Amino acid sequence: MKWILLIFIIVVNVVLTSVVNHIQPVVFGLPFFLFWIFIWMVLTPFITLTIYVIEKKQS
């Protein structure tokens, strides 16, 4: 499970960033690309925390 989450973070942040690199639509006054980056800046630490908790339970 932890490897899936780690790969998911990498795929979303590296691979899909080129796919969502659009100015339109505008979300909350931000171009979609900036909104995408902001959302993943918020979500990545929570996913990393989940990985940490999973790893701690297994040890």
Largest CA-CA distance found in the chain, in angstroms, rounded: 46
Q: What is the pLDDT, as a whole number, of residue 39? A: 93
Which residue in the block uniquely carries the two structure tokens 């942040």? 13
For residue 48, what are its two tokens? 């990393």
> Where in the chain are the domains?
2-58
pTM confidence score: 0.73
Name the burial class of residue 36, with classes exposed (0-12), middle (13-18) and buried (19+) by CB atoms within 10 angstroms of its CB: buried
User: Tens of pLDDT along the chain (59 residues)?
Assistant: 778 888 988 888 888 888 888 888 998 988 988 999 999 999 999 999 999 999 999 87
